[in-house]
Amino acid sequence: MLQVGNIIANKEKYVEGLKKRNLNNAAELLEEVIALDDERKQNQHTLDSNLAEANSLAKQIGGLMKEGKRAEAEEVKAKTAELKSLNKSLSDKQNEIEAKLQQALYNIPNIPNETVPTGNSDEDNVEIERHGEFPTLHEGAKAHWDLIKDHDIIDFDLGIKITGAGFPVYKGKGARLQRALVNFFLDEATKAGYGEVQPPIVVNEASGYATGQLPDKEGQMYHITNDDLYLIPTAEVPITNLYRNVIVDEKELPVKHVGFTPCFRREAGSWGAHVRGLNRLHQFDKVEIVQIQKPENSYEALKEMCNHVASLLEKLELPYRVLRLCGGDLGFTSALTFDFEVYSAAQEKWLEVSSVSNFETYQANRLKLRYKNDQKKSVLLHTLNGSAMALPRIIAAILENNQDEHGINIPQVLHSYTGFDRI
């Protein structure tokens, strides 16, 4: 969430920044915030003045009674009662204005970093790096949805029977491969200094608002209506919310956490190969890394997180590329995001497997996440997160890129985790 003071001080700059997101009504949205803030300040000034007057009058009543001036005391009491009633109305109005201001701020996305390119959609994202060679497959090579049937390692039909489309059942070596990847990613993150946590996979509404999933992605989240809880779309939500309403001791910074969770997304399905098999699921497993940093260190941390994700893909021997997301494809809360895509040889297409983002103070302002600097002043921190990594498309690429006429080779780095080297 943007800070009102920064909106007032940087209105024109913010309008230009939001134009990168193709937000044509940016000026009107910012003006609404400024107008509501002015109204809030004026109402608060009137309320404060009236409260001061009421307190002053209340102090007079006792003295007047002692002096025997009952009639005057009764007049002061009546005026105090009027002020009390008026102040109740002003207080209610203040709560109403603040709620409108909060909602107006919720409707404004983060300001893109100056390095974010302009663009309308993912077609305008900018490739900044590519690594690895595309594998040459044998004649008759298959896409992963056929390979998993041949080797009976993932069953979509059973998932449909139990739940519905997008909820596969992993079996035998498929389940072992899934677990091996989770443990590999967790071990690598631990080596890189991330402390492991195992958070809840359902969150309350306050947590959804704090990290920006609400109200922006409400339709994409599974909602448990009776309890007003949400299944998490990513471990970023519960892990970052560990620090909601927290003033972090400066000596504890930076905060670095890793967590493995299932993730749930009600993304609208569509037809075609881009959503077939493991390409898009409603439930999937993911290892997430989260950092909380001082503002001056956050972009160096973003680079470090990107290097960590790149190292995982290189150890898995998967060809990948890195994209800098354009304004039209940038997440609502992000200031800058890099996507990692692996090349799926049988499908002959790139598959997104990780997003690494810096939210700057946007989430921290919602979270009220701060630290006290050398001057004992509370300063908002920067939050960052990254997929390290999402499993379904990684598995799809491993199966497709490593197949031969007789089976599938498992990347060397996973052998000690799987207990087998081939499927």
Is the separation of the CB atoms in 246 and 292 below 8 Å? no
Whether residue 270 is annotated as binding a ligand: the answer is no
State the architecture of 4-106 in CATH terms: Orthogonal Bundle (1.10)
Whether residue 266 is annotated as binding a ligand: the answer is yes
Whether residue 385 is annotated as binding a ligand: the answer is yes
Whether residue 267 is annotated as binding a ligand: the answer is yes
Residue 197, exposed/middle/buried by CB under 10 A (0-12, 13-18, 19+)? middle
In the numeric block, the tokens 């409260």 are attached to 51
Whether residue 355 is annotated as binding a ligand: the answer is yes
Q: Where are the domains of the chain?
A: 4-106, 122-418
pLDDT at res. 272:
53
Phi, psi of 343 (to 5 degrees): -90, 125
Q: What is the pLDDT of residues 38-85, one digit of tens each?
A: 999 999 999 999 999 988 888 888 788 888 888 888 888 898 889 989
Phi, psi of 371 (to 5 degrees): -140, 165
Tokens representing 23 are 């937000």
Is the separation of the CB atoms in 247 and 226 below 8 Å? no
- Reduce the secondary structure of the chain to three states and give it as a string: CCCHHHHHHCHHHHHHHHHCCCCCCHHHHHHHHHHHHHHHHHHHHHHHHHHHHHHHHHHHHHHHHHCCCHHHHHHHHHHHHHHHHHHHHHHHHHHHHHHHHHHHHHCCCCCCCCCCCCCCCHHHCEEEEEECCCCCCCCCCCCHHHHHHHHCCEEHHHHHHHCCCCCCEECHHHHHHHHHHHHHHHHHHHHCCCEEECCCCEEEHHHHHHHCCCCCCHHHCCEECCCCEEECCCCHHHHHHCCCCCEECHHHCCEEEEEEEEEECCCCCCCCHHHCCCCCCCEEEEEEEEEEECHHHHHHHHHHHHHHHHHHHHHCCCCEEEEECCCCCCCCCCCEEEEEEEEECCCCEEEEEEEEEECCCHHHHHHCCEEECCCCCEEECEEEEEEEEEHHHHHHHHHHHCECCCCEECCHHHHHHHCCCEC
State the Cα angle at 81 between 76 and 82, rounded to 5°. Answer: 100
Among 110, 127, 128, 130, which residue's Cα sits nearest to residue 327?
Answer: 110
Please give the average pLDDT of every successive group of 10 residues along the chain, which has 423 residues: 98 97 96 98 96 87 82 85 92 97 97 97 97 96 97 97 96 98 98 98 98 89 96 98 97 98 80 76 97 98 98 98 98 98 97 98 98 93 98 98 97 98 98
Q: What is the pLDDT of residues 84-124, one digit of tens each?
A: 899 999 999 999 999 999 999 999 999 999 999 999 999 99
Q: Does domain 122-418 have CATH number 1.10.1840.10?
A: no
* Domain 4-106 matches domain 122-418 at the CATH topology level: no
Q: For residue 327, what are the CA distances in angstroms to 387, 406, 422?
A: 20, 45, 42
Whether residue 373 is annotated as binding a ligand: the answer is no
Give the type of residue at 49.
S
Whether residue 218 is annotated as binding a ligand: the answer is no
Whether residue 96 is annotated as binding a ligand: the answer is no
- Distance (Å, rounded) from C-alpha 32 to C-alpha 21? 19
Q: For residue 300, what are the CA distances in angstroms to 52, 135, 323, 339, 395?
A: 50, 33, 18, 17, 30
pLDDT at res. 71:
85
Among 13, 377, 395, 387, which residue's Cα sits nearest to residue 171?
Answer: 395
Sign of the C-alpha dihedral computed for residues 338, 305, 348 and 158 taken in this order: negative
Give the type of residue at 108.
I
Whether residue 352 is annotated as binding a ligand: the answer is yes
Tokens representing 59 are 């102090």
Among 414, 37, 396, which residue's Cα sits nearest to residue 188?
Answer: 414
